[in-house]
Amino acid sequence: MAGQALADVMTRLRRSQLLTPETLRELDDLQHEQHDPQALVRAVLKRGWLTAYQARELFSGRGEGLLLGEYVLLDRVGSGATSHVYKARHLPTGRTVGLKVLRTDLLSTEEAWDCLLREGRAGVRLAHPNLLKVHGALREGDAFFLVREFAEGTDLARVVGQQGPLPVGRACDYVRQASRGLQHAFERGLVHRDIKPSNLLLTDRALVKVLDLGIAAWGHPRQWVIRPRAIAAAGTPDYVAPERVEAPAQADVRSDVYGLGCTLYHLLAGRPPFPGGTREEKLLRHREEEPQALERLRPDVSPDLGDVVRRMMAKRPADRFPTPGAAGDALSPFAEAGPCDTQFVLELGDDSLASLDPGQSTDVLPDGS
């Protein structure tokens, strides 16, 4: 019985197309040393011939999904509402890349390809250290995917979820970095339209990269062609600017400034400006309410920094900083570069504590998502 199981493992490995001819020759020698199928698989993993993710997929009968044209999937690193994100290798060059693969079970073929092309066309025109580089959009059979830079790191929504509110200097630096990437995009005619902590990746080098250009728009707002369904889905209610709800076609880059302000508020407070409630209630509060002042939540937030955040989150676009770059410049005096290896612990009075809704929810790692 063990011999039959071992033979099945060998057959799957040989047919997987995941191993090189040289590795297959070594595999033949290895099987004579291992008489237990589990031991053989462990030996293959130890030698780095397969990743743990590949082994799970292969021996669960899903091995054919590990190859997408010239790319082999190494690991799944994230999932969102409409896509999965993978670490992958380009077989001809051996280069490690990221693949954003659309879930075609949720999108029609036309919608999937249109979404992918939009993000691909947006990304290939941009080259900035604070933007995740996009190499292009491809289709292989029924799979639609975006090829982009692979960067090790954690999105800022997850960082806050794990560590709590961030130190003031670090939070300001991370948002300042994001503003530089968005300024580069804006100068080339692109507005992101979905800025939030989960779309900001913090790498192990303390470098922030802006993710997810999938709902970005080109040019002057009057030239945008956006389907009604896209408008309804665009943006995340915890970070969406008031004008995006009232007059979406008139929104411009100052909506990204608002999103940056909400993101900075979240990094400093440990929660969005208006936690809890339904989507509709959140959108109404963005239009009509002011969030609790950060200075009341954190004694180390100066009135000057509080004023900068309030200007970024002004209800009227005309009252905000005119561009992401201008907002980033205003944050520079408060920014401190470096990794986020420390955290701030909120010490709140009863009034402040009551304002933190225990039922608050934040999209973590949405589509870049």
Most confident of the following: 58-67, 74-83, 160-169, 235-244: 160-169
Let me know: does 178 contact 99? Beta carbons within 8 Å.
no
113 and 208 assigned to the same domain: no
194 part of the active site: yes
For the sheet with 83-90, list strands across it.
Answer: 67-68, 71-79, 83-90, 96-102, 143-148, 134-140
Of residues 155, 194, 212, 367, which has the active-site annotation? Answer: 194
The top-scoring range by mean pLDDT among 123-127, 281-285, 300-304 is: 300-304
Q: Provide the number of structural domains found in the chain.
A: 2
pTM across the whole model: 0.81
Residue of 242 and 3 predicted with greater confidence: 242
Whether 202 and 215 map to the same domain: the answer is yes
Q: Are 6 and 35 contacting, i.e. CB atoms less than 8 angstroms apart?
A: yes
CATH of the domain at 200: 1.10.510.10
Give tens-digit pLDDT for 7-56.
Answer: 888 889 998 889 988 999 999 888 888 778 888 899 999 999 999 999 99
pLDDT over 70 at 350, yes or no: no
- Same domain? 110 vs 207: no
Q: Can you give the residue range of the structural domain that contains 129? A: 65-148
Q: What is the CATH number of the domain that holds 140?
A: 3.30.200.20
Q: In this structure, what DSSP letter does residue 197 have?
A: G
Q: Do 190 and 314 fall into the same domain? A: yes
Q: How far apart are CA 306 and CA 288, in angstroms?
A: 19
Residues 245 and 280 in one domain: yes
Going 171 to 176 to 177 to 183, the CA torsion angle's sign is: positive
pLDDT tens-place string over residues 117-153: 877 887 888 999 999 999 988 988 888 899 999 998 9
